[in-house]
Chain A
Amino acid sequence: MTTKVTVPGIKNLQTTAEISNSIRGYYGNLKLAKEKKIPVIWSFGLIPREIYHAVDAPVLFLEHLPLMMGAKQLSGKYMEIAEEDGFSRDVCAFHRCFAGCAIAEEKDPYLDSFFVTPDLIIASNLPCISESKSFLYSADLYNCPYYFVDGPINTWGKNIPDHAIKYYSSQLQGALDFMEEHGFKVDMDRLKESVKLSLKMIGLWNEIDDLRKTVPTPMSAVDGLTAAYPLIQLAGTQTGVTLYERLRDELKEKVKNKEGVIENEQLRLLWVGVPPFFNMGLINYVEKYGAVVAKSMIEYLAGGAYDPSLVDPEKPLEGLAYKSLVDIINPTAENMLEFIAKSVKEFQIDGIIGAVKRSCGLLPGYFRMIKDSVFEYANVPTTIFDLDGLDIREYDDATTKGNLDSFVESLLASKRR
């Protein structure tokens, strides 16, 4: 017997409300571009967003649209549409949902307000195999040209060798050439500027992180996930910089006034894995125990965790290649483990929630290693349980809350000892 109770997350910050609003504006611009007959690009994979801003291209990101569908409780519907067309239930829920949105002939008005068809597709294989395969379906469906950006995985940890940078830069150059072939103008100065702004955003994000490390934390993962939107999708834009300046200032105020998300903070938790987009209220659920989900690892996608001094805006493609390759989500696991262990210490995390999305080929492989290395390094436990952050059909509220209850209770008991 499954129970489906979903509750939207509670945001505490002014700036995240602003960020939410800006999302609408972004998709509105895509619609405008379509009307003006500017080619719209569908982007699959963690391709550095800065290259799109360099050509001022209107881009629909696969990584974002399903998230919106999930929040509106519509993701299951579109996944089913994809499954009826032959997609296996075992492949990534994000890609299934997105494919379903593309395939569906009749779209919900909500989806319609965001959706634009592609004229071009640019896809990368970072970070996972789904990114490198599912776009082919859309390319066929819309019969549109595509360019594949081949990103080498990171088998070196922090020091990316020259031949990898060279290769990936050549791939990014290929993407720029492809866009130029199809009507966009590549402005290298814009690209350099974009990289500069991106570095600024990372700096601000790190400042924001530092403020979140205070006890009590002024910002929960609910706000965090919305706040990550500029970092992931608006990287390299002035809008992104402005939003983060505002966010940082808001948090500074909160920290000054010792305003935490909850008053009596007993536990600080880290969410690793795909957040429950259709039930963000789960993140607030643990607050009744005095536990706050201070951070979610997915916020670090495409940002943070690298040495900004190694990115030279004057050599933008090389810089972007490096930044992309050290991303913690990229295989292999070295960077991610180190980063999470460090975050656990710095955020003073008491426990990690490991939510396994069964259809994911990438994240589940990391969980055990995260659990063991964090326990070794910081004596902090991780609970691992099944939770697909996008497939509402599979969701069982009672089981999930049972897992969270058990974990939080066991942490509180240990703390009291």
Chain B
Amino acid sequence: MKTLNKIMDIYDNPMQIIDKFKAADKKIVGYRCLYVPEEIIHAAGMVPYPTFGVTQPIMTADSYFQPCVCEFVRNLFDLAKENKFDFLDELVLCNTCDAIRHLYSIWNRYIESVPCYIINNPQKMHDEAGYLFYRQELENFKIEMEKLSGNKITDNALQQSIELYDETRRLLKQLNELRKRDIPPITGAESLKIAIASMLMPKKEANELLRQLIDEVHDREIEDDNCPRILITGSIIDDPTIIELVQDMGGNVVVDDLCSSTKYYWYQTKKNSDPMDAIVRFHLERDVCACMHPSENRYDYLTELASEFDVDGIIYFNIKYCHPFVYEATIYRKKLEQTVPTLILETDHSLSGLGQLKTRVQAFIEML
């Protein structure tokens, strides 16, 4: 499994990617949440870099945010305070939830090394007025990226970036569709690491590796434990420990609906002569995020995913204080349980208290 190992190595050592970019004099623009179009950053000749957290206890962020704000966001802030994000030339956030919006304000006030920009995306999908609003916001964002890079972003460049990023999404989807099999050739934990590594890497390299990987694992033999098939959902999981936990407790994570995985790559841009319009529609037509409306669309997306992968159970892993997904779990639970058994869990982003989690997951899987 040469390619798989190569990708795992990249996942384990992300700084090597950063070093390469810095050596090539590339500007790196961090982003968080799926409504920041990477293509615009890329078309400006810069590197879009998804910011992930690190599994560690919260340090000084509690003083800036209060301990009752989303742990993932507090963790990102801690990392920024520890200068771990100093390699970024800018951070771009968007209008998803309260915590991310606060990160924008608090970051700008207290983190001096990296400026923060926010894209004001609508929270209503599939709406023409929303497209216009988002379009204007993206035009403004484009100007900001041009300023930062010193390069003009041409329509041509945008089209090329869209094609490149679409290819990554398409390949990741193709790879993960292999998990629809009775015996998926890659485990849930491996899939998450591959997805994250692909998001971090330059896309040309990622695409090449993914093509090789798909060939490599196509006929990979994995023991059939006849484990119940599980779908994991929630907002973001950046540490595969949680997925490994489910696997250890006897569940086969065949699909994960996360911001660090399927939500990112399940859909592609539709062909359009106006690349900005393509970008606008791509983002406002994929119903993956719990912060967006209509909620019914996201429910359909979730249940379709569950059905396509023939899952026996759904597990929500909600980060502590993640309001959008906690509400969603409450609102969907009864309806979901009519078709698929569903378990709703709250986890610390710092992964303390795994013991209790194990017990609940084990009990759930035994029931399936």
A–B contact (CB under 8 angstroms): yes
Binding site for B on A (CB under 8 A): 85-88, 90-92, 125, 128-130, 132-134, 136-137, 140, 148, 150, 152-153, 155, 161, 163-164, 166-167, 170-171, 331-334, 356, 358-362, 364-369, 372, 384
Q: Are A129 and B133 in contact (CB under 8 A)?
A: no
Q: Which residues of chain B have C-beta atoms less than 8 A from A136's C-beta?
A: 295, 327, 331
Given A133-B327, A134-B327: A163 in contact with B136 (beta carbons within 8 A): yes
Closest 4 CB pairs of A and B: A365-B102, A364-B66, A133-B327, A333-B105
CB distance from B242 to the nearest CB of A (A): 18
Closest Cβ neighbor of A174 among chain B residues: B129
A-B contact pairs, 9 of them (CB 8 A): A133-B295, A137-B330, A148-B124, A150-B130, A167-B130, A167-B133, A364-B66, A364-B68, A367-B66
B293 in the interface, Cβ–Cβ < 8 Å? yes
B282 contacts A by Cβ under 8 Å: no
Task: Check B99 against A361 for contact (C-beta < 8 Å).
Answer: yes
Pick the residue among B118, B295, B323 that contacts A155 (CB under 8 A): B118
In the complex, the answer to whether A331 meets B327 with C-beta atoms within 8 Å is no
The answer to whether B123 touches A88, judged by C-beta atoms less than 8 angstroms apart, is no
Given known pairs A132-B291, A152-B122, the reply for A332 and B323 (CB within 8 Å) is no
- Across-interface contacts of A88 in B (CB, < 8 A): 326, 330, 346
- Tell me the count of chain B residues lying within 8 A, CB to CB, of chain A: 50
Q: Knowing A86-B333, A148-B294, say if A358 contacts B98 (CB, 8 Å).
A: no
Per a CB cutoff under 8 Å, which of A90, A155, A164, A356 touches B326? A90
Query: Is B324 located at the chain interface by the 8 A CB criterion?
Result: yes
Q: Contacts A150-B130, A333-B102, A356-B66 known; list 17 others, CB within 8 Å.
A: A86-B334, A88-B346, A90-B320, A90-B321, A90-B326, A129-B98, A129-B327, A130-B327, A132-B291, A136-B331, A140-B335, A164-B133, A334-B105, A358-B67, A368-B64, A368-B65, A369-B105
Q: Is B120 located at the chain interface by the 8 A CB criterion?
A: yes
Q: How far is the CA of A153 from the CA of B104 in the complex (A)?
A: 12
B8 at the interface (CB under 8 A from A): no
Cβ distance A154 to chain B, nearest Cβ, rounded Å:
9
**Is there contact, CB below 8 Å, between A87 and B132?**
no
B320 touches A150 (CB 8 A): no
A183–chain B nearest beta-carbon distance, Å: 23
The answer to whether A361 and B63 touch across the interface, beta carbons within 8 angstroms, is no
The answer to whether B129 touches A129 (Cβ under 8 A) is: no
The answer to whether A331 and B105 touch across the interface, beta carbons within 8 angstroms, is: yes
- Residue B95 lies at the interface, judged by CB distance under 8 Å to chain A: yes
A125 and B105 within 8 A (CB): no
Question: How far is the CB of B164 from the nearest CB of chain A, in Å?
Answer: 29
Q: How far is the CA of A262 from the CA of B99 in the complex (A)?
A: 40
What are the interface flags for B107-147 relative to A under an 8 Å C-beta threshold, 1 for contact and 0 otherwise? 00100000000101011100101101100110000000000
Decide: B101 and A153 in contact? CB cutoff 8 A. Answer: yes
- CB under 8 Å from chain A, chain B span 18-49: none
- The answer, yes or no, to whether B163 is at the interface (CB within 8 Å) is no
Shortest C-beta distance, B66 to chain A (Å), equals 4
B64 contacts A129, CB within 8 Å? no
Contact across chains for B293 and A148 when beta carbons are under 8 A apart: yes
User: Given the interface contacts A148-B293, A153-B101, does A166 sit within 8 Å of B132 by beta carbon?
Assistant: yes
Please pick, from A155, A333, A360, A366, the residue contacting B120 in the complex, using a CB distance under 8 A.
A155
Task: Check B15 for interface membership: any CB of A closer than 8 A.
Answer: no
Q: Give chain B interface residues in 55-90, CB to chain A under 8 Å.
A: 63-70
A361 to chain B: which residues have CB within 8 Å?
Answer: 69-70, 97-99, 321, 323
Q: Are A133 and B320 closer than 8 Å at their CB atoms? A: no
Residues of chain B lying within 8 A (CB to CB) of residue A134: 327
B331→A332 contact, CB < 8 A: no
A301 to B127, CA, bound (A): 29
Q: What chain A residues lie within 8 Å of B321 (beta carbons)?
A: 90, 361
A92 neighbours in B (Cβ, 8 Å): 323
Cβ B95 vs Cβ A152 within 8 A? yes
- Enumerate chain B residues within 8 angstroms of A140, measured Cβ to Cβ: 331, 335
B106 at the binding interface (Cβ < 8 Å): yes
Interface centre among B64, B95, B118, B120 (most CB of A within 10 A): B120
Set A129, A153, A170, A365: member contacting B106, Cβ < 8 A: A365
Chain A residues near B65: list those with CB within 8 A: 364-365, 368
Q: Which of B67, B99, B137, B293 contacts A150 (CB 8 A)?
A: B293
The answer, yes or no, to whether B328 is at the interface (CB within 8 Å) is: yes
Which residues of chain A have C-beta atoms less than 8 A from B66's C-beta? 356, 358, 364-365, 367-368, 384
Decide: A365 and B320 in contact? CB cutoff 8 A: no
